[in-house]
Each structure stands twice: as C-alpha cells, then as structure tokens.
Structure 1
Amino acid sequence: MTLTGTSPLASPNAPLLDGPALWPAQAHLPTVLGRQLVIDRGEGSYVHTTDGRRLFDGTAGLWHANVGHAHPELARAAYEQMLRLETYHIFARFMNDKAQALGERLAAIAPIERAKVILNSGGSDAIDVACKLARRHWQREGRASKKVILSREFAYHGLHAFGTSIAGLEFNREGYGTDSLVPETARVPLHDAEQIARTVAEIGPENIAALVTEPVQGTGGVNPPATGYLDAVQKICRDNDILLILDEVITGFGRTGAMFAAQRYGVRPDLVTFAKGVTSGYAPLGGVLVAPRIWEPFYRDESSTPVFRHGATYAGHATASAVALCHLDILDRDQLLPRVVELEAVLRDALDGLAQRQSAVVDVRVAGLLGGVTLADHLAAEHIADDMIDLGFITRPLRGNTLQISPPFIVSDDELVAFVAAIEHAVTARENR
C-alpha cells in the first residue's frame, strides 16, 4: 500500500506504515521496523538470516533451543507422528496415546511426588491454568477469601491475563486501564523474604491463594535466588497455608543443570509450570505439574466431586507430545544435563574474568547455563546487543541494562568463551568511541 494525498498518515512515518504485515512481538515498532533480521535456517548453535549472516545463537531463541536448531531426530519424530495421527483432543473420555505417554514420563521426573500433569500450548497458558487452579482449590476448600496471587518484583510470567496481572515488570502491566487485569494480585521484593512475611501479614494469609516465583528470574535480568531465599519463601508459604507455584518455563528440563531448578535448590512446590525446554521449542507445548493435595479432591468418586474447567483444543497435542518424548530421550542419551553443569563452570570463569577486566561491567550472574551481564548506565545493553550482531553473535537486552546469555546445551567450551569475548570486544569498542 502506498499512502498519498493529504491523509495524516502520509508523513515521514509512511515507510514504517508500509512495512511488513506481521506485527512484531514485544517491539517498539518505530525503532525496530526496517532493522529486522529474518531468520530462515538453523543448524546446531547457529542461525542464518536471509541476508546471508551466520549468527551464534547466544540466547537459544527465547531460552528454548536447548538441543540446538534443526535436530533431525526431532524433525523425524514430528513427521512420523503426523503420518500416524496429527492430534486428537484430550477432553472428557478421549485421550491420545502420545499425550498419555508424555504425562507418565513427566510425572516420573517431576519435582513433585505423585504429580498429575496438565498439558497445554505454552508457558503463558500454563501460568493462567496454575493461577486459576490455585484459586479453584481454595474455593473448593470453602475458603473463599483466598484469592490474591503474590509475585516478585521484576518477575515475568508470560502475557496472558494472569501473567500480565502478576508481572513484576511494570511496563508489562501498563496501559490497560487498571493496575491489574485480574484485580487480586500483589508484588513482593526480589530477594527480601522478611518483606514477604510482612506483606503476607498486611494482606492476611486468609486472603492469599498462592505465591508465584521463577527459581531463577529470566527476563527480569537473570537473577538467581539469594542464598536461603527460596527456603524462606517455602517456609512462609507452608506456615501460612499459601500454595507455592514455581514458574519453570525457562529453568525446566536442564537449564540449571538439574531437570528442574526445584531439584537444584531443594524446593517442594505445589504447582510447577513448564514449557520451552520440554520440546526445545520444536513444537509449542507447556503445562502444569500438580501436587496430590490439589488434584486428589478432583479425582474422588463422589457425586460432589467438582470439575476444574481447564483445557484447550491443542492441549495434549499428539505431535507436540511425540516431539517432547523424543526430546527427553535426547537429553538422557546425550547426557546434556551433566554437560550443563560443566558449561556452568566455563561460563562462570569467563564472566568473572570479564568483570575483573572491564569496569563497565558492574555485575555478572550465573546459574547453570543462564548468565546475565549488567552494564554501567552509560553503556546501553541495547547498543551492545546490536553491536554483537555485527560480530556474529546474538544476545538480548534485559531489564536492568543486562545482557542475556543462554546458549544451547550443545555449545562447545570454545564457543562459549568466544561469546563472552565478543561481549568484551563490543564493550571495549563502545568505551573507546
């Protein structure tokens, strides 16, 4: 479309308004359009753009490409499943064999004993279901006032209605005409367990349904838990009869060196949300692991047993489930979780050296194959991320002027060190301008 005449749209903005039909996600459009990178191919830890660049994927897409790109076994798993049965829903009496098998597999590795598994299409779906289930649990228990969902400062829990409402990143909550799309929510500080206890006392534990937290915050700036923090949070929840929901959408399936970060940090949650790493992003799939205290009342053979109204067309998608099963086999066979533990040490050494050499690097944080590099205020993470593209590496700017490091688990030691070296090169170049 060409804009002409005296229309107010026919302005210097016209090239932007004539841009691609696809509306980019999470984008300030005037500063993104015309500079977009179109990815058309991947191989292992690298992706290729339509303009001929080969880029090291230092973020594993959006934290998900754990076994790398274009893995032939996962492609075959999807192809073979589609030839047999693309999918069939799992409503009421119906179930498909792959969703059933995946449920058993996930329950066996869950950080919750005797877990039940709710499947859906992704992390935002999972958060919505978990928060609804927490509230449904207390309503069924006859404790109708327990509705408030607590979440942490700088938290990111997707962008569905509940995820937007419990966001600890204020910019994800703004512009909708209300402080919270779902009104009964409140935020607590990032690492201050004592303040959480005070907030619980102020709101009243009789009014609080659940506390949601990422074990390691991702989008909020790669924030591992302070020593003893998760233990303290867990105790507060137990002492006040508040459900503990762990958002393991990023950390689940090996990103911290354990299958779930709950296992690494010794946390016993009531609900766990997952997505991303369950399929390494090869198919959209997420879900919730549910503890017995919550699921058992919905399973009793009584006329008064309630129905939890969850479910979507693609929940338990057979092809996505087949891909997830194949992916879990690859994680086991290729010993990728022990490999993450090895890579954590490599990354920690490289980032410690970077911080020692560069005064513009004010902090580095590592948990498994998750790293964050916080830069001094005068050095914008957005600019460094752009410069890194020109050096052949992908990183992302996160909250707190922080650069994201979360490459695939198949990265070599040398590639990981080279990635950190490229950050140093970009920082030095900017400092010397």
Structure 2
Amino acid sequence: MTPNSSPADLSAFWMPFTANRDFKEAPRLLASASGVYYKDVNGRQILDGTAGLWCVPLGHAQPKIVKAVQDMVAKLDFAPTFQMGHPAAFELAERLKQYTNNRFSKVFYTNSGSESVDTALKMALAYHRARGDGTRTRLIGRERGYHGVGFGGISVGGISGNRKTFGSLLTGVDHMPHTHNLEKNAYTKGQPEWGGHLADELERIVALHDASNIAAVIVEPVAGSTGILVPPKGYLKRLRELCTKHGILLIFDEVITGFGRLTTPFAFDYFDVEPDMVTTAKGLTNGVVPMGAVFVKQHIYDAFMDWPTGIELFHGYTYSGHPLACAAGLASLDIFENDGILEHAKGIAGYWEDAVHSLKGLPHVVDIRTIGLIAGIELASIAGKPGARAFDAFKQAFNDGILIRTTGDIIALSPPLVFEKSHIDELIGKLSGILQTLD
C-alpha cells in the first residue's frame, strides 16, 4: 500500500465513536496534514474546522514540535516514571505550573482526557480520606456533561448515549441540571444572561445528601462534546462559592477549553474562577503524542504528604510522562509563549463570531452560540431521526473540502488557533452553502 492509497480491507479496525457500517460503505480517509489543512487519500485538500478532534490548536505538522519529537525519540524512546524519572517530565511540569501563572503547583501526568478525569476523581476521594473525611465519597456531575469514557468519567458525565449500555456505573453519583435553554438564550454571543441561578441546584443536592458525604463537583467550563453549552453569567462563580462553603472540591474539566481555546491559556483565566483541580489533555501536546495532565492545588498534594512514608497515591499509568509526549508538550508551550498564538486568537475572535452568526436565518438553524474560537450551530431535528440532519451536513462538508464535527443535530466548530480570516471565510462560506441545501 502506498502512503496515499486506500487500504484493501477496512474490516479489522473497530472504529471509536463511529457508525462503522456507514463509514465503511464510503470511507473518509485522511492521508496527510499541514498547517490548517488535511489531504485525503485522493489528494483532496480538507480545511480543518475542528482542530483535529479539538486537539491541534497550533496547526498540523508544526516544524518545532516535529523536530522536538524526532530528537527525543533518538535520545530517549521510553523511561518509566514509577520510582524513576527523566528530566523532560520535571521540566514540563514546571513549565505547566508557570503557564497556570503558578495557580496550580503540582502536575500529575496521564495519557488522555478520560484518564485525567478518572485521576482527578480518585484524587478527590483519597484527599478527603487522607484528611479524616472518609465519608465524603459522593461525586456530582452535570446533565449533558462529557468527561471521557472511563467508568468514572461516564458516571459523572451526563450524555445518555455514553452511559445507557454500560450497567450501573459508579454508585454515589448525582447530577446538576444543564444550563441550555433555547427559549431564553438563543443566538448568544459569549455568556448568556439567563441561567446563573441554576448553580444553586447544588444547594438542593447538598441538602439531599449532606455536604459531609460529597467529595467533588466536576464540570466543563464550556460543555463541548454535548454541543457547545456556554455557562451563563455568574454560574461558575456561584459554583465556586458553594463548593468553598461546603468543603467540596471543584474540578474543571478543561480537556477542550485548555490551551487557548477561549483565547486565554485556560478557561479558569477567561472566567476568573479557580477550581481545586483541572483536567487537561488534547492541546497539551498539540495532538502529536497522546498526553493528559491533572493540575492540583498545593493543599491537596500536602494532604497526601502527611501520610506515612512510602507511595502516597497508588495510581498511575505506564506511559505517564512519556519522553516523546514531554518533548511535544515543551515545544508546544514554546510556541504558545513565543509566537503570539493567544494574541492572534484574540485578534480573530470577533471576526469568527460575526462570521458564524451570519448563518442565522438559514434553513433549519434554530440556534448559534459562540465563545472564544468555539461555535455551536443547532439544527432542527428531522421527526423520528434525531441527528440525521447534522450528520448529513457532516458528510456533505467532507465532500466539499471542510471538516466539521457533529453531536446530535448540533454542528460544533473549533478551528486551529492559527486560522486566518481567509480560512474563516472558506469554512463558513462552504458551510452556508451546505446548510442551504439540507433536507
């Protein structure tokens, strides 16, 4: 098989989050990528409107990252981090600490967002036990939340399709309501005015279970995989107040919003709300090598260090702090810090917002919501066929040379932060044409 040809047999690969039978009837195969474009196996150029899978903020085949990974694999292909270490793991942790403006003092490495979530949940439970609050075992998520695909993540998550076929999941989990309301907040730019009061639902849950039994609340600052749900004004600050009041840890899942997606380093910068832990992945290495990390406040770490001498947290992964991932992470941070990436993102954010909202009024469009360099375009569903209309748009988009993402009947856009206005024009122009032809 030549590099740009299609494989003869597609049957062996059971594809994730994919309609396998549908895909294999008409495969969409990507062969290469550079900058903000993919090429498929036929040499067609595909504009990347989703930054890969939310994970390539700096564009594809970024030369500095490519070289850093090449250099590292020639020097140190693997090193264990159980009772061992290698310099790049410590260097990256320090750089990440600084990138949070020293708000978080400890970094625990994982290999994905799902692993970051399960790690943070385990840390929360163990933290309370270390402090003598072992009854704090209940975890609180949110309806329509997405926190990866581990059993912890799907338990606190609130997307039914991710939960319904996997049994009883973790016990002792409750959910706050989501904040999406088309009647009150349709066509919002930035944070909606209505819905901040929904944070007070946490008080109801506390009254039901008692704070002494609740370990942590986990939310996405902006819910991504469910279709771009932006927090109402005051919502996240109120959650922070209530968690502090009741001694509950607050975890922000920033796997999507971290590393510039809102034009700030993290969503906690954008919203000026500091959680106790932050889960990250995706943009951490620009998607080049799988890696995740949990950022932790000093007081959480200190609680473990008060335990008897020995292993303080019985948790970790074979590939935690993998040398190649560390090299990609360090190179990515260099680019963020030296190449004006966030400044560029801020500079095009308004143009992006206006361009996306220009789709208002097109057939079947019932809502558009934007924040930073993210957009959700909600379509009316076909009766009896939820998700079919947006999936048809996804297929047409690929055929027309743009990559979009859909969840249900919502189109989600999250372009690389290095997009230019001409790329926005191409993406939205083609998407406009597609929306005008949908059944």
- Whether TM exceeds 0.5 here: the answer is yes
Question: 2-side partners of 1:55 and 1:39: how far apart?
Answer: 9
Question: 2-side partners of 1:349 and 1:113: how far apart?
Answer: 33
Question: 1-side partners of 2:100 and 2:229: how far apart?
Answer: 23
Structure 1 residue 20 displacement after superposition = 2.0
Structure 1 residue 159 displacement after superposition = 0.4
Question: 1-side partners of 2:10 and 2:75: how far apart?
Answer: 40
Task: Indicate the SS of the match to 1:183.
Answer: coil
Question: 1-side partners of 2:178 and 2:105: how far apart?
Answer: 28
1:412 corresponds to: 420
1:163 corresponds to: 153
Q: 1:381 to 1:117 in 2, by over 3 A?
A: same
Q: 1:359 to 1:29 in 2, by over 3 A?
A: closer
Give the gaps of 5 or more residues in structure 1: 1-17
Among 385, 389, 409, the residue aligned to 2:394? 385
**Conservation of the 8 A alpha-carbon contact between 2:130 and 2:304:** no
Question: 2-side partners of 1:346 and 1:105: how far apart?
Answer: 32
Aligned CA-pair RMSD: 1.6
| 2:366 partner amino acid | V
1:200 corresponds to: 206
Question: 2-side partners of 1:125 and 1:24: how far apart?
Answer: 20
Question: 2-side partners of 1:345 and 1:398: how far apart?
Answer: 25
| 1:132 partner amino acid | K
Question: 2-side partners of 1:233 and 1:306: how far apart?
Answer: 33
1:361 corresponds to: 365
Matches within 5 A, 1:32-71: 32-71=23-62
Question: 1-side partners of 2:431 and 2:397: how far apart?
Answer: 7
Among 264, 273, 282, the residue aligned to 2:270? 264
Count of residues in correspondence between the two structures: 408
Structure 1 residue 282 displacement after superposition = 0.7
Task: Indicate the SS of the match to 1:397.
Answer: strand
Question: 2-side partners of 1:294 and 1:395: how far apart?
Answer: 39
What TM-score, normalized by structure 2, do the two folds share? 0.90
Identity rate, percent: 32
| 1:187 partner amino acid | H
What TM-score, normalized by structure 1, do the two folds share? 0.91
Question: 1-side partners of 2:425 and 2:178: how far apart?
Answer: 30
Per-residue CA deviations over 1:118-146 (Å, capped at 9, x if unaligned) read: 01211111111000000001111111221
Question: 2-side partners of 1:381 and 1:387: how far apart?
Answer: 10
Question: 2-side partners of 1:103 and 1:298: how far apart?
Answer: 19
1:397 corresponds to: 406
Q: Does 1:183 align with 2:171?
A: yes
Among 14, 31, 41, the residue aligned to 2:22? 31
Structure 1 residue 91 displacement after superposition = 1.7
Per-residue CA deviations over 1:381-419 (Å, capped at 9, x if unaligned) read: 1111111112111101114x1101111111111111221
Give the gaps of 5 or more residues in structure 2: 1-8, 180-197, 383-387
Question: 2-side partners of 1:33 and 1:185: how far apart?
Answer: 38
**Conservation of the 8 A alpha-carbon contact between 1:343 and 1:368:** no
1:124 corresponds to: 114
1:172 corresponds to: 162
Per-residue CA deviations over 1:284-330 (Å, capped at 9, x if unaligned) read: 11110010110012234x74687111211110111110111011111
Q: Does 1:274 align with 2:283?
A: no
Question: 2-side partners of 1:114 and 1:397: how far apart?
Answer: 34
Q: Does 1:287 align with 2:278?
A: no
